Amino acid sequence: MEKNKDHRDLGRIMDLFSFQEIAPGAPFWHANGMIIFKELEKLVRETDDRYDYQEISTPIMVKPEVFKKSGHWKHFLDNMFYFTNPRDKKEELVIKPMNCPESTYVYNSQVRSYRDLPLRLSEIGRLHRNELSGTLGGLLRVRQMTMDDAHVYCHPNQVEGEIKTIIKIIDEFYTRFGLKSSYVIATRPEKFLGEKEDWDKAEAALKNAMDEMGIKYTIEEGSGAFYGPKIEVHAQDSQGRDWQLGTAQLDLVMLPKQFKTTYVDEDGKKQMPWVIHRAIFGTFERFIAILLEDTNGHLPLWMAPVQVSIVNVGTDHVKYAAKIYEKMRKSGIRVNLRDDNLTVSKRIREAEIGRSAYIVVVGDKEIGDKTVTIRHHKKGDVGTQPLNEFIKSIQKEIDDKE
Ligand SMILES: [Zn+2]
């Protein structure tokens, strides 16, 4: 069996993205690549909407005090981009390497009551990290990345329920892409912040949530972050590789304490919420790379940059082909008409190489019957179908996001 191609090759073949010397570690997304990116973005937004997450957007450039407070300035500085404003040579600015600290400014913009919790703030945030230029490689190692991030501010008693929802979202998401998932719970390390009692409660909440959902997991004792235990989600692709993609990281102290996030409880007293840092698949860049390599570029139809390629047999069939093209375009299908001087078999071959999900061929017979003859990249020759029926069936396939 032919090995699946590297995502960088697929990026070139399918005209998805490129890397240029002027921007180390940051992709230029071409039109076809943006189709994939936007479809993924749509799915993220639809899902977050469905589970009552509220989308926010926080600045890319902020003052260092934000990351001084969060501790990144001390522990993560080598990975951050920052500069002095050339106008006054005084003002310092940081390009955010993560979204977490800034989400607290949205939380803190109002007095929060226990009735506001859980407050789920999602953000499709563009981040920059100063990775060594020698380590950069395609979409898997980048300096500029886009995260499917969210922060859930909740009462400790709500953690279990929130974790269940997050696991449900993750499970739904991976299943949709045919990826197998596995879960790891990382528990209290030797050096930790906060109270041991809180840690026990937090770890129990994570385990209970998984147990009640009947999801298997392994425990990595002592490998949690110093501010809370976490669930790591791994996905296995068709090539047998394991990727750590999603996380649900509990934060008992870091954000709440450093940024003084509070809510007013039933007795009118100020309390600290717990925060869950959540990512379903991590970053768009990395996930798209994995998906491309997993499918060898044959993405699910709803994501495919080219959903249908039309190939007319001879010049007599151009008019009918153009009519089909217009009809499909108006039906919201991403369609390509291959009308050039190459032979039919060459045009079919090129559409296949470009990862067109369907190829329809039209000649005399199809014009007479108002049909199309269909080839599918996986199923091969599917046969001939009335045009309207074919349009309906792929519209359904797209809507179902199969
Ligand atoms: Zn976070």
Which of 314, 315, 354 is CA-nearest to residue 335? Answer: 354
Q: Could you tell me the two tokens for 170?
A: 């993750």
Do 232 and 244 form a contact (C-beta atoms < 8 A)? yes
Q: How far is the CA of 46 from the centre of ligand 1 (A)?
A: 21
What phi and psi values does residue 277 have, to the nearest 5 degrees? -90, 125
Using the structure block, give the residue that is written with the tokens 């974790």: 163
Do 97 and 127 form a contact (C-beta atoms < 8 A)? yes
Do 298 and 347 form a contact (C-beta atoms < 8 A)? no
Residues of the chain within CATH 3.30.930.10 domain(s) are 40-60+96-295
Q: How far is the CA of 103 from the centre of ligand 1 (A)?
A: 8
The span from the CA of 259 to the CA of 278, in Å, is: 18
Q: How far is the CA of 76 from the centre of ligand 1 (A)?
A: 14
Residues of the chain within CATH 3.40.50.800 domain(s) are 308-399
Q: How far is the CA of 248 from the centre of ligand 1 (A)?
A: 9
The two counts, helices (H) then strands (E), for the chain are: 13, 20
Q: How far is the CA of 167 from the centre of ligand 1 (A)?
A: 17
In order of 161, 387, 389, the CA distances from 204 in angstroms are 12, 57, 53
Which residues face 315 on adjacent strands? none
What is the residue-level pLDDT of the chain in tens, covering all 402 positions? 578 999 999 999 999 999 999 999 999 999 999 999 999 999 999 999 999 999 999 999 999 999 999 988 988 899 999 999 999 999 999 999 999 999 999 999 999 999 999 999 999 999 999 998 878 889 999 999 999 999 999 999 999 999 999 999 999 999 999 999 999 999 999 999 899 999 999 999 999 999 999 999 999 999 999 899 999 999 988 888 899 999 999 999 889 999 999 999 999 999 999 999 999 999 999 999 999 999 999 999 999 999 999 999 988 999 999 999 999 999 999 999 977 788 999 999 999 999 999 999 999 999 999 999 999 988 889 999 999 999 999 999 999 987
Q: Which chain residues have CB less than 5 Å from ligand 1, an ion?
A: 100, 277
CATH homologous superfamily for the domain 40-60+96-295: Bira Bifunctional Protein; Domain 2 (3.30.930.10)
Contacts of 98 (CB under 8 A, 6+ apart): 72, 125, 127, 147
Name the helix (H) or strand (E) containing 82.
strand 81-84
The span from the CA of 185 to the CA of 201, in Å, is: 14
Q: How far is the CA of 39 from the centre of ligand 1 (A)?
A: 24
Domain 308-399 has CATH 3.40.30.10: no
Q: How far is the CA of 251 from the centre of ligand 1 (A)?
A: 9
In angstroms, how far is the first alpha carbon of the chain from the final one? 25
pTM of the full structure: 0.95
